[in-house]
Amino acid sequence: MKLPQNMLAQMRAATRKLMGRGPAAATEAIQQALAAAGLAPQATATQPSPQPMHDINPPPAPAQARARQPQADATAEAPAAPPTPAQAAQDFAQDFMARLGVPAGVGQHGFDMPSFELPNFHPPGFNTPATAPPDVPDGAQFIDGVYRNHAGTRSYKLYIPSSYHGQAMPLVVMLHGCTQNPDDFAAGTQMNALAEEKECFVVYPAQTQGANSSRCWNWFNAIDQQRDQGEPSLIAGIAQQVIDDYPVNEREVFVAGLSAGGAMAVIVGTLYPDLFAAVGVHSGLPFASAQDLPSALAAMKGGAMPNARRKAPAGGVPIIVFHGDRDTTVNLRNGDELIAQGVRSQAGGKTARTASVDGSVPNGHRYTRTTHSQADGSPLGEYWIIHGAGHAWSGGSDNGSYTDGKGPDASREMLRFFKTVS
């Protein structure tokens, strides 16, 4: 569904009312936006009480579902009545505010705009972030570092494999998702173990709670979508600092990320094609798919639709994308547009050859892998749709959060793809 521009403007007005006059005023503004879009008529009757919120990724087990909805058993025999337009608008408003992390009953004094983030939730069924650092084999190092520039300060962790003895090696920059940290992301993606096998450095920049209270990379802020500004400058600066400190093969520097980290990896790779040779994205969004919080929510929920004004700069780099088709946090349409955007931004992208194959993981998920290449076979992009997977790193370890061990190994496939483009 394509949202009209005037509806987005009204949603922004709802956000302002939420800050100034509280949830009731925001609900009214959202109802008006829905009515203007033809999704619901103007509500004039008194609104019913807010309905209980449901998790964005409902637990699959019926017992868990009943535990979350204790009142459901009492009315199980009666068919649920379709919601009235007014109730639908109320539910939408409550969902809108809950996804923005606004507790029920919070008024203007409880709303902290500077630390506002998306998403601000924990899907059930996933582990909490790991507190202990991953195991480091003999001879390897997992060390702390700090980078500072005009945009601020970010810490990071750098993995140096045991095979390093002064020789030049590739560098992979890994951007964690919301609520995660470098230790958790390293444990979940198992990228350090692959660094041992493939002989490469891996650096994990860490978002601060001061910049975002859920430690999300701020992919939806205008300042963080510009070269040499904001978070892109910090991430690129971390990569450059590692290059300066160690003998990195500068033709083999890559950036990858999950969710908000995936969206930021797209931004960084797009803005710094002179630094990064390729981009890996898991459950992310296209370049500049949002300019503020309402448009970020719209992109996550409904998908970033093709938009000529969101055209990525020419001279893009090869890209590999993973996305679960049961992802209810970041809509699959974002993956569709992301690979299309990434391919067409490269030289030869308009005449790319495309081929698809289906496969499956033993006792795991099925997937569809689509490759995009130039006439001479040079890779432009790969798109992996993982059937039945949600918002989680495919093939990851349950030692970290937001992982799904039933999927193809995204970490291994990313490194394999990176090797083909360097």
Contacts of residue 254, Cβ cutoff 8 Å, sequence gap at least 6: 170, 171, 172, 173, 276, 277, 278, 279, 280, 414, 418
CB atoms within 10 A of CB 247: 12
Cis amide bond preceding 103, omega within 30: no
Q: Can you tell me whether residue 38 is helix, strand or coil?
A: coil
> Are 203 and 156 a contacting pair, CB within 8 Å?
yes
Contacts of residue 12, Cβ cutoff 8 Å, sequence gap at least 6: 292, 294
* DSSP at 244: H
According to the model, what pLDDT value does residue 82 have? 54
> Are 64 and 55 a contacting pair, CB within 8 Å?
no
Give me the sign of the Cα torsion angle 408, 409, 413, 414. positive
According to the model, what pLDDT value does residue 181 have? 98
CA separation (Å) from 327 to 173, 216, 255, 393? 24, 18, 22, 11
> Are 329 and 147 a contacting pair, CB within 8 Å?
no
How far apart are alpha carbons 345 and 349 in whole angstroms? 7
**CA-closest candidate to residue 336, choices 316, 306, 315, 307:** 306
Give the pLDDT of the chain (422 residues) as one tens digit per residue.
444 555 555 555 555 554 445 455 555 655 555 554 444 444 444 444 433 333 333 333 333 333 333 333 433 344 455 555 445 444 554 554 444 444 444 333 333 333 333 333 333 333 445 446 778 999 999 999 999 999 999 999 999 999 999 999 999 999 999 999 999 999 999 999 999 999 999 999 999 999 999 999 999 999 999 999 999 999 999 999 999 999 999 999 999 999 999 999 999 999 999 999 999 999 999 999 999 889 999 999 988 765 555 567 778 999 999 999 999 999 999 999 999 999 999 998 989 999 999 999 999 999 999 999 999 999 999 999 999 999 999 999 999 999 999 999 999 999 999 999 97
According to the model, what pLDDT value does residue 311 have? 65
Torsion, Cα 369 370 373 379, to 10 degrees, reads: -30
**CA-closest candidate to residue 290, choices 307, 273, 276, 269:** 307
> Are 93 and 31 a contacting pair, CB within 8 Å?
yes
> Are 182 and 400 a contacting pair, CB within 8 Å?
no
Q: Can you tell me whether residue 386 is helix, strand or coil?
A: strand
CA separation (Å) from 100 to 12, 285, 302? 13, 18, 16
How far apart are alpha carbons 47 and 144 in whole angstroms? 53
Contacts of residue 128, Cβ cutoff 8 Å, sequence gap at least 6: 122, 401
Count Cα atoms within 13 angstroms, Cβ side, for 30: 26
**CA-closest candidate to residue 186, choices 139, 131, 240:** 131
How far apart are alpha carbons 302 and 150 in whole angstroms? 35
CA separation (Å) from 101 to 21, 113, 116, 213, 221? 17, 11, 8, 10, 17
> Are 120 and 137 a contacting pair, CB within 8 Å?
no
Which residue pairs from 101-104 have beta carbons closer than 8 angstroms and sit at least 24 positions apart in sequence? 101/214, 102/18, 102/23, 104/23, 104/50
According to the model, what pLDDT value does residue 422 have? 79
Residue recorded with tokens 């619901």:
40
Could you give the angle at which helices 191-198 and 182-189 cross, rounded to 10 degrees?
Answer: 60
Please give the model's pTM, rounded to 2 decimal places. Answer: 0.73
DSSP 137-180: -TT-EEEEEEEEETTEEEEEEEEE-TT-SS--EEEEEEE--TT-
**Residue 156, phi-psi category: left (phi > 0), alpha (psi -120 to 50), beta (remainder):** beta
Residue recorded with tokens 């993981």:
361
